[in-house]
Structure formats: C-alpha cells, structure tokens
Structure 1
Amino acid sequence: MGLHRVRGKIDPLDDVFSMPLSERVLPKRRVPDGESDPRSAFEAVRAELRLDGESAQNLATFCTTYSSAEVRELMALCLDKNMIDKDEYPQTAEIEARCVRMLADLWNCAADDTVGCSTTGSSEAAMLGGLALKWRWRKARRAAGRPADRPNLVCGPVQVCWEKFCRYFDVEMRQIPLEKGATGLRPHQLADHVDENTIGVVAILGVTYTCDYEPVAEIAAELDRLQARTGLDVPIHVDAASGGFVAPFLQPNLVWDFRVNRVASINASGHKYGMAPLGVGWAVWASAEMLPEELVFDVSYLGGDMPTFALNFSRPGGEIIAQYYTLLRLGREGYRKIAQANADTARYLAERIKAMGPFELLYDGQGALPAVSYKLREGARFSLYDLSEQLRTRGWQVPSYPLPPDRDDTTIQRVLVRHGVGKDEISLLADDMERALRRIPDGGTGAPRRPGFHH
C-alpha cells in the first residue's frame, strides 16, 4: 500500500519504516533538499549506530562507558549552557571552581592559592601543563641572560598527546627508551637526558602501554641529586590521566602528588576513572606562581571580564556538572569501593590469564591501575593479533600493540577494568579467551589487522 497523505503531508500514524526516508539510501555527500519526519530520521540514524561496537565490551578504552540515569538527566539540563560564559552561567562556573578545589585537596595541595581549570580531557590538560613549564623555563632563562630557543621535555613511554605538545609548541621531545623488564621510566635514566634546556620531566601515573605507575617520588629524588651536582632545578608534571582518580583511593599512602615538592602541576581525566561522561579533564597547579600570568587571557565580550586558560573555547557545561555530581554522590568512600571492586576483578582476570598457559603477565592489576597487561611466552605459534581477531567475533575489543621504541619487538595486550565492567562480564571474557585459544590454528597469521592500539 502507498503512504497515507493528509493534505500532502505524511500521516502521523504511518510506521516510520514505511516513510520516504526509510525507502532510500541515506545521503552521504549532500544535504537533502527536503525535510524528513523526525521519527523517521531518528530511527535511521539509530539503526546506523547499531553498527558500532558495544562500548561496555571495549576493554581498550580508559574512558567511562557507564553513566547513571541521574548523570544523563543532568547532562540534558546543561545542553544549552556554554561553560566558557561564566558571567551568564555563574553557578556552573562556581561548580567548576569547586571541582578544582576538591581535586587540589585530593592531591594533597597545601597552598591556599592553588589554581586549575577544566578541559575537554586530559590531553588538553597535559598540553596546558606543558605550556606552563615552557613559559616558566623561558622566563628564567631570559632573566639569566641565557638563550631560550632550544627547550626540551624529558619523558618515558607517554601517550601521544605529549608528542603533539612537543610538535605543536616547538619543544624537543627526549623520550627515554623503555628498559628490558621495565613498565615505565626509571629514575636512573634521567641523568643522560636532562640538561639546562629541560623545561620539565613528565611522570606518568598509569602508563598507557602497561597500566603501571612510574615512581614519581623516586624520580623527584633523582632530580634532587642532579640539582646538587649541576645546579639544574627541573620541575615535574604528573600525567595522572588515569591514576589521579585511582591512587588517592586504592594507594592513599603512595607519595606521587603535591606532597612531592618538585611536582608543579597535575592533569587527570574526569572521564576516565573519575567516572564522568566523555569530555572533561582537569589541570591543577601547585600554586598560582606555577601558572605564568601571560598564559591567562581576559575576555570582555561575554558580559564581563573573564580570565580563561584553555586551548578550546566554547564547550558544554554538562560534563563539569556531572563530575561534581559524581564527587558529591560517591564521596571518598564510594570511589574507594568502586576502585577496590575494579582491582579485585583485575586480579581475578590476571589469575585466569596466567592459568591459560601461553601468556606472561607484565602487570597483574595490583599496585597501580585496575587492569592487566601481558605478552605471549616464547615459542607461541600464534600472535596476539590472532587472538584479538578471535575475540572480536564475540564483540570484545582487546588491543594488541607493540611496546615503545627499543622494546617495539614485543607485542602485548591490555585489558582495562572500569566502572560498569563487573566480574561476571570479565569471567565471560576469560571463557571466550580460552575458547579462542582452542580455535586459533597453529601458526596463525601473526600480522596485525590494524597497527597500533586504541586509547
């Protein structure tokens, strides 16, 4: 039967899949000339979204994949709020400031004049931390009458945002090779890479590749010894993208934050283990003097003079509100309980993987992030890429990727345990891994379907 028309319009009683939009291939290169029924357009787009993977089965991502109904409702209430416009939305601005103060306190900042801001994620926050390091170094060099045209940043196996920072802002990246058997930067490696042009050292609390923590306090102690020998006073920026919302609750006695005098700034992702929805990160400085005033802009065209320090400008305020709600809702005890449950689940998975036979654990989920990383034992007749392909047939996204340079002949896999990923789900993953091992023929392809790894 044809469509029912009421004075030339589509009958609202028509089924959405019998409307004109559902009877043709959706446009991909040109905006259509006419309008479509909203129900039909919604169903057409939703149908395409079903082709995406199930986010809860994406064990490659650090990011939040579970949000409560209350979080979703608060996000909806803030769809029209531009958080940069602090004069128009003063309460959103106040809530952002509360989050900064809460995080500074969580990370043991003793200064009364600590400063910070929200960002779109920890990548932007890391770049802001790097910019502050560069500007302070350059100012000190010029004040001493020394050249300031060859800044470098020293780090270990960092996330790609630091490579972007160095390339975008003209800083030499001195990435220290990963030693055999190590899961991150080791303090004794610093002396051969730090010099008078070093703007800072990046220490990672939750290495992207292996999920382990780099020893921030020991790195600072090595820089103290280096200063005693050379006079070089090199600050630390802690990239706590993941660990910033884990260590305070799982490892409260671990000294990595502003208790370390050499730590100038910290970044973290609210949308990772901070359990906020995608789109929020945080940058916090130990004190106001650590953030050069030249980097802060006063904007007068939003209804008042507003200081701003960010790479982005307009963005929604919902993620900030959701972060505050989550801090308020869970409190320290709630975060601790969830982090501990995740760690227990990671330990369970590590035990299952170890018992399977062909794997060697690199990180067993204890002492750092709730995650597991592992490689194949010598002599295996298949590759981890083969295993990734098998697991994908069951919907699991488990990344296989090489370690950083000097260890890039070693391929590993990583499984992250997040809020919303329970022990039952992980037990199903382990069952599927065991079945996959039985299905993979001896002498698998050994070739990656897609080079690199997901973050």
Structure 2
Amino acid sequence: MTDARRENPEEPLPDPRAIPHLNNDDAQDWIDVNPLAARHGSRLSLDKFEIPSGETDPQTAYQLVHDEAMLDGNARLNLATFVSTWMDDHARRLYLETADKNMIDKDEYPQTAEIETRCYKILANLWNAPDVDRAIGCSTIGSSEACMLGGLALKRRWQKRRRAEGKSTENPNIVLSSAVQVCWEEFCNYFEVEPRYVPISMEHKVLDGRDLDAYVDENTIGVVAIMGVTYTGMYEPVAKIADVLDAIETERGWDIPIHADGASGAMVAPFLQPGLEWDFRVDRVASISTSGHKYGLVYPGLGWVVWRDVDALPEDLVFKVSYLGGEMPTFALNFSRSGSQVLLQYYLFVRLGFEGYRKVQQYSQDVARYLAGEIGRMPQFQLWNDGGDIPVFAWYLTEEPRHWNLNHLSERLRIKGWLVPAYPMPDDLGGLTVQRIVVRNVRNGFSRDLASKLLRDLKKEVDYPESLDAPIPGPAHPGAFTH
C-alpha cells in the first residue's frame, strides 16, 4: 500500500513489531496494513474473518481493499468473460450518482421505474414484437434470473392449460441443447422440471430441430433456443426449430412455445444480422431474455426478459405488494437492488443509438473473425466456428499425437497475462476440449492491436511444446468454465 498518504507525514510510523502474527503459523488468517498507509497508533493487522472491534481510518480501509482487488486479473486481457469491463466517464458518474436508488421501490423512485419500462419497450421494438403496447417485461440481476422467469412463465402457462383440459400437471419437462448454460440446469432443479437434453455432435453443433419429436410430448412446457451458445458463440436456428414444432403440433396437437435465450445474441443479432428471424417475428417465440451486462455494454448486474404480450406472462405470477407507501407489481426472484444499471442501460440506448451499437458490435465481430482466421490457419488447430454469429469463437486440437493439450496452452498464456479458457465440451462429444475467445467492447476492450499481440504470444507458446520430445511434466487440469 505504498501509494497511500498519511494525513500528518511528521508523525512517526507505527511500530511493525505491533503486528501480532509476525512469525506466527496462523499468519494466513491475518491481513497486514502497510505502515505507510496507517495513521499513527492505528492497528497494523486485521483478522480476515472477524469484524474489527473498533473503527479503521477510511483511507487505510480503502487502501487495504484497493490493494486486495489489485491481485485480480487484468480485465482487458480477460478473453474468457462475456461481461462488460468498461464504461465511459459519463456512465461511471451516473453510476455513482444513482447507486442508492432501490429498483424495487417504484413508489419512491417512479422515474427509475418509468425508465425501466422504456428500456423493455425499446427491446420489444428491437426484437420485433407484433404489438409493443401489449408486450411486457422487466429488468433482472442478469440473464440467469431472466431465464428462470421465462421458464416459470412457460411452466405456469402449461399448468393452466392442462388444468383447463382436466389433465394432470405432474411431470413437466423442458427441451434443451446439451450445450445449454448452467442456469437452465438450475431452473430445472429448483422448479422441478425434467430437463431433456438434445445431444450436439460434430454434424449437429447446435440444437437445430433434428430428432426433436423424440424429446417432446404433451408435458413439454417449452423448448429453449440459444442465441449464442456459451461454449462457442453459435446461434441455434430459432425459425427452423419453430418449423419442426409447427409440424409436431399439426400431427399431435401439442402447442409448444419457445423461449429464446439471447444472453449475448439478443444484443448482437438486431444490429449485425437484422434479417435473421429468431425473435418475435417467429410466432412460436413467447419470451426472450438477454444480459444487459454482456453485449448490452452495461457494468455487471443487469438482465432483461420480455414477453410477446401480456397473455404470455400469467397474471398470477405477478405480485402486487405494498412497500414504502405505495402498491406496485413485481415479478422477480430478487427484491431490493440498485436501479443504477437500468439507468445505465437507458443512457447507452440514448448515447449510442442503433448505429452506435451496430458499430461497436461490428468492430468486435471484425476482430473475432480476424483472430479466428489466423488461428484456423495454424496446423495445430481446427476451428469449431469462426465468430460469424456473436463475436465469439472456439477451436480444438487436430488429431495428430502431441506432447501437450489445450489446458497446457491455456496455462502458458496465463503466464503472459492472457486469460483464454480451455474446457471440455458436453459429454456427447467424447471428451473434446476446446478453447474459446470472447471479443467485447471497442474502447478499453479487445482491439485489433491487442489481437495481434495475442496471436504473437499464442504462436510462441505453441512453438515451445511442439519442439519438445517428451510430454510437458505434470498434468494440466481444465480451468473453470467462464460463462
């Protein structure tokens, strides 16, 4: 904490001998305060796992936490995460000014609530809702909560229909790709819905409607179509899936809706692939979710879900609660949270407009395709996809025997500061491991120049294990899979 300033430089520094755990075997349970950052007479050590008995000087407390956070990775070199890591100065100022607004308290903060409505209406327009005035939506903590709300609406609609027909509401199921994001596994577990996973393969890299009739039945509450598979960034063909479900309804009478999980792609496709029919132009799409904090470009903590119309969101899922002086409707798994991210989303909609978003996403995709093209030309690698959907792509090793694997390469790139994850694909692919790069954010994000530097380091780190006559010592373990 050498950059902290003591208020009175003339005061003597605290005595380092006052640190209670010097030469103590329990030192890992304590955190040191640099004497240069501490006031005279202040404590020089804090227990990590107990609240201090007294107050700490704010500058000292700030510097302590600041220095702890410094140990995290460099966000600009993190090619694993989809989450936004930069916003401009105006956004950061707005963030600080509005962090105290409670999103759930619509009576106390009616304008923030109004702006939330504007945002989901903007998204309903962007996603081609047939009647924006009848569309309904809400903000969430992230797209995982948004997916769960979409799934709950599917389940409740199915239950109401079954009861009206005098049929059992036991054993609901939902159909998913085996490459689905883990939040859907959580949904099925938490809300007692049977997941039915359609396996992907080298020939069918996404859920594309193949053999769908073998997975659906009268208890199917819906099919999830992913706009930007987490593993690889590929779109699942929503319109093609809908065509298969249309044929199933004609033959068997089962009206099965689609939830479009657009965590990333719902904020990319409208700008880069406007002619692609995946949204409410497809009649069978009942709801769409997205992450405001991914390609929506907002800091972490924001998701959105929008339903085609009020009929797609059962009214009995919406609670009307009295809170802090007024009655308000709410549909959420969370309650109190800051309204700042909602206001930041609106700021970006106003600041960038359609053309600004298009430029940001196009630049990211251009960088992704440049990188994919260069990596695809390396003889050691085979591309899984080329970044032509969202600005994300993945690759795997060619089949020749090697003394190394992608986990080794990921570890070697980490030494250079690059976070490029290697992780196993779903079991259907027989243990295939891929590496994935996510390109996001033009400004202070991943530029063409940084991409060239990554390629330089990547080729260098591939040349080293390729030159070895024996396997790299020690096993390389798969890193954590970053969503």
Q: What TM-score range do you get, normalising by the shorter chain?
A: over 0.9
Q: C-alpha separation between the residues in 2 aligned to 1:278 and 1:86?
A: 22
3-state SS of 2:326 partner: coil
Alignment match, 2:456: 431
Alignment match, 1:135: 156
Matched, 1:345 2:373: no
3-state SS of 1:356 partner: coil
Q: In the TM superposition, what are the counterparts of 1:53-452 in structure 2 within 5 Å?
A: 53-111=73-131, 112-156=133-177, 157-366=179-388, 368-381=389-402, 382-419=404-441, 420-440=445-465, 441=468, 442-444=470-472, 447-452=475-480
TM-score (norm 2): 0.89
Whether the 8 Å contact between 1:383 and 1:447 is mirrored in structure 2 is no
Letter in 2 for 1:444: I
Identity %: 52
Whether the 8 Å contact between 1:384 and 1:412 is mirrored in structure 2 is yes
3-state SS of 2:166 partner: coil
Letter in 2 for 1:128: L
Whether the 8 Å contact between 1:383 and 1:444 is mirrored in structure 2 is no
Residues 256-280 of structure 1 deviation map (CA, whole Å, 9 limit, x = unaligned): 0000000000000000001011100
Whether the 8 Å contact between 1:220 and 1:260 is mirrored in structure 2 is yes
3-state SS of 2:428 partner: coil
Whether the 8 Å contact between 1:21 and 1:41 is mirrored in structure 2 is no
Q: C-alpha separation between the residues in 2 aligned to 1:20 and 1:427?
A: 50
Q: Structure 2 unaligned runs (5+)?
A: 1-8, 14-33
Deviation at 1:394, TM superposition (A): 1.1
Letter in 2 for 1:98: R
CA change 1:137–1:209 in 2 (3 A) is: same
Q: C-alpha separation between the residues in 2 aligned to 1:302 and 1:224?
A: 47
Q: C-alpha separation between the residues in 1 aligned to 2:368 and 2:69?
A: 30
Q: C-alpha separation between the residues in 2 aligned to 1:26 and 1:388?
A: 36
Residues 248-297 of structure 1 deviation map (CA, whole Å, 9 limit, x = unaligned): 00000000000000000000000000101110000000000100011000
Deviation at 1:184, TM superposition (A): 1.1
**Equivalent residues, number:** 446
Q: C-alpha separation between the residues in 2 aligned to 1:405 and 1:249?
A: 34
Alignment match, 1:31: 51
CA change 1:51–1:451 in 2 (3 A) is: closer
Letter in 2 for 1:48: E
Matched, 1:45 2:69: no
CA RMSD of aligned residues (A): 1.8
Residues 63-106 of structure 1 deviation map (CA, whole Å, 9 limit, x = unaligned): 10111111111110111110110010011001100001000000
CA change 1:28–1:201 in 2 (3 A) is: same
Q: C-alpha separation between the residues in 2 aligned to 1:211 and 1:28?
A: 40
Residues 329-375 of structure 1 deviation map (CA, whole Å, 9 limit, x = unaligned): 00000011111111110111012212222000011111x11122100
Q: C-alpha separation between the residues in 2 aligned to 1:150 and 1:394?
A: 50
Q: C-alpha separation between the residues in 2 aligned to 1:358 and 1:26?
A: 50
Alignment match, 1:453: 481
Q: C-alpha separation between the residues in 2 aligned to 1:412 and 1:66?
A: 27
Whether the 8 Å contact between 1:153 and 1:172 is mirrored in structure 2 is yes
Q: Which moved more, 1:257-266 or 1:443-452?
A: 443-452
Residues 166-206 of structure 1 deviation map (CA, whole Å, 9 limit, x = unaligned): 00000000011112233211212211100000000000000
